Amino acid sequence: MYVYDEYDRQILQERVAQFRHQTARALTGELSEEEFLPLRLQNGLYVQRLAPMLRICIPYGMLNATQLRRLARVTRDYDKGFAHFTTRQNVQLNWPNLEDVPDILAELAEVEMHANQTSGNCIRNTTTDQYAGVHADELIDPRPYCEVIRQWSTYHPEFAFLPRKFKIAVNAAANTDRAAIQVHDIGLQIVRDAAGQLGFRVHAGGGLGRTPMVGPVIREFLPELDLLTYLEAIVRVYNRYGRRDNKYKARIKILVKALTPEGFAERVEAEWNHIKDSPSRLTPEAIEQVKVFFTEPAYAALEDNPAALVQARSDDKAFNNWVTRNTEPHKKPGYRIVTLTLKKTGVPPGDITDRQLEQVADLCERFSFGEVRATHNQNLVLADVRQDELYALWQAIKPLGFATPNLNTLTDIICCPGGDYCALANAKSIPVAEAIQRKFDNLDYLYDLGDIELNISGCMNACGHHHVGNIGVLGVDKKGEEFYQVSLGGSSQHDAEIGKILGPSFAQEQMPEVIEKIINVYVEQRTDEESFLDTFRRVGMNPFKERVYATNH
């Protein structure tokens, strides 16, 4: 993964010193609450329902063992001993003290971590596929481009006070999209043109929140070296013309819609023409110097399906289930990609203790070249596990709570912290997730249902990505009471689509039963090969609606 040089270290140290200065002035009242607000947000610090919340950046999801141990220490020393992985590959602490935050940031900076631009109206952490660099279905490793974008977007002098937050995601897989790029402010799909030249298909104006939209393509092919100047042109057009009069209409998607994608693209092209040949244009050398940090580790020459693995899978059904569900094919023979699920029933999705963080550090050193990835589905990934060590790994993680074999099933729920923690939430989300997990506790049944994405958000801000869940649940407030609205048919993949609302909302205690009825309709209606989403697209909303809202006689 990327390693800092003297420049990166210097810039980050100066950032920590700057925030220490700002925090001190905020504590004496020299900076008003309003003046301090964007400064602390751009250093990851929210003030939440119970206490401040610090969102620590994990650039495009990559972490090493040293960083995990430091996170564990910070979690233990400055918080209550657990952290929460978010839906944008970041990690949050829920109870730090405001005055401690400069010290926390200093400790993180020692291991090349920070909380830069994890909040506020600026360019946020660039995210990508958690299987980047190791999945066979990938044109090229997207992480060097993410790092290039990270550097370009860090303390960009022109774009620190945009109309609203701004999120960029990059995908390089041809047939899947684990980065949900079409629901980002900018989505970059790495492609080759007819001549074999590398570049990007550029989507702009996607996003969730109050007005969910799938981002239209504004440029079919952008040559690789033009990446940063083109991004600069997009963000400049947005900075100048995005709405600032209403925060709910301030995201770039509203501007793209108002100008039409074609009209928006024209403005971007006009701006880009002025700057495309400036020194900010990337060079092959600049990309190469980042790529050296993402070369392959020292893989052994191995064969797929070693005898020990085959034997263990046939002897132990639980192990076999786990291999089938929680591991993915690796581009190298003899290796698998392993997901450590943070979705054990009874534990809020994405939550992890300080001790567990250290255990993951040990595991990644023992099994996966000392690195781990955070996923937008709130799990962790060991990307390079030898197949002949899978059984040992599985035995090691079972008692630690990372082996719940439910990856991509109905109970692998994406869920925001919700009303238990978040000041913005209208409703709790964690208890709903847990109740659904309890209802669907039969693994064989879950496997039979196949891949289903169930996403829960506690409010319109949609941190739980409910719009793009195959089944989406949104917490709403009705006269002070919490209700839940269900949508069906969403997808964050290449076929991205915003889910459609099923009908009137439900009380919290009804939710497991509602989900069960929806699942039953699927099971009755599906053909042999159909996933939940396939069936929904074929039969439409009505059968689901009729079942869920049928009155009992």
Decide if residue 274 touches other proteins (CB under 8 A).
yes
Q: Are 417 and 348 in contact (CB under 8 A)?
A: yes
Counting contacts by CB under 8 A, is residue 286 touching other proteins? yes
What the block records as the tokens of 235 is 């963000």
Of the candidates 260, 278, 305, 324, which one interacts with other proteins according to CB under 8 A? 278
> Could you give the string, one character per residue 243-262, with x where binding to other proteins holds by CB under 8 A and - elsewhere?
-x------------------
Q: Outline where DSSP puts E strands in 389-522.
A: 414-415, 454-457, 471-478, 481-488, 500-501, 506-507
Site for other proteins contains 285 (CB under 8 A): yes
Paired strand residues for 202: 188, 219
Measuring CA to CA, how many Å separate 246 from each of 17, 161, 234, 307?
A: 34, 15, 21, 62
Pick 40 or 70: Cβ nearer other proteins: 40
Q: Which of 157-189 are b and which e, b meaning 16 or more Cβ less than 10 Å from the residue's Cβ?
A: eebbebbbbbbbbbbbbeeebbbbbbbbbbbbb
Q: Which stretch binds other proteins (CB under 8 A): 271-279, 372-380, 387-395, 464-472?
A: 271-279
**Look-up of token digits 């070693």:** 306
Name the E strands within 174-267. 186-192, 198-204, 217-223
Of 198-237, binders to other proteins (CB under 8 A) are 228, 236
> Which range, of 29-37, 181-189, 340-348, 504-512, touches other proteins by CB under 8 A?
29-37
Among 33, 158, 296, 495, binds other proteins (CB under 8 A): 158
11 CB-contact burial (10 Å; exposed 0-12 / middle 13-18 / buried 19+): middle
Of the candidate residues 60, 145, 159, 369, the single one contacting other proteins (CB under 8 A): 159
Using CB under 8 A, which residues numbered 57 to 96 contact other proteins? Answer: none
Per-residue contact string for residues 117-156; x = within reach of other proteins by CB under 8 A: ----x--------------------------x--xx-xxx
Please state the closest distance from residue 287 (CB atom) to other proteins, in A: 9
Give the nearer residue to other proteins in terms of CB position, either 239 or 492: 239
Residue 62 near residue 73, CB atoms below 8 Å: no
Closest distance of CB 495 from other proteins, Å: 35
CB of residue 363 to other proteins, shortest distance in Å = 34
Shortest gap between Cβ of 91 and other proteins (angstroms)? 23
Per-residue burial over 201-220, b if 16 or more Cβ lie within 10 Å, else e, is: bbbbbbbbbeebbbbbebbe
Helix (H) or strand (E) segment spanning residue 47 = strand 45-47
Find out whether 370 and 355 touch, Cβ atoms under 8 Å. no
Q: Rank residues 34 and 444 by Cβ distance to other proteins and give the closer one.
A: 34
Binding residue (CB under 8 A) for other proteins from 4, 136, 161, 503: 161
Q: How far apart are CA 330 and CA 167, in angstroms?
A: 29
- 421 in contact with other proteins (CB under 8 A): no
The answer to the question of residue 38 lying near other proteins (CB under 8 A) is yes
How many residues belong to the site for other proteins (CB under 8 A)?
A: 43
Those residues with Cβ within 8 angstroms of residue 472's Cβ, 6 or more apart along the chain or in another chain: 454, 455, 456, 457, 465, 466, 486, 487, 488, 490, 499
Residue of 160, 198, 259, 392 interacting with other proteins (CB under 8 A): 160
Tokens of residue 337, six digits? 């990609």
Largest CA distance in the chain: 73
DSSP assigned state of 33: H
* Shortest distance (Å) from residue 109 CB to other proteins: 14
184 lies in the binding site for other proteins (CB under 8 A): no
Q: Whole-number minimum distance, CB 186 to other proteins, in Å?
A: 17
Among 1, 2, 15, 328, binds other proteins (CB under 8 A): 15
Residue in the block written with tokens 């023409």: 273
**Binding stretches for other proteins (CB under 8 A):** 5, 7, 10-11, 14-15, 17-18, 21-22, 30-31, 35, 38-39, 121, 148, 151-152, 154-163, 228, 236, 239-240, 244, 274, 278-280, 282-283, 285-286, 289
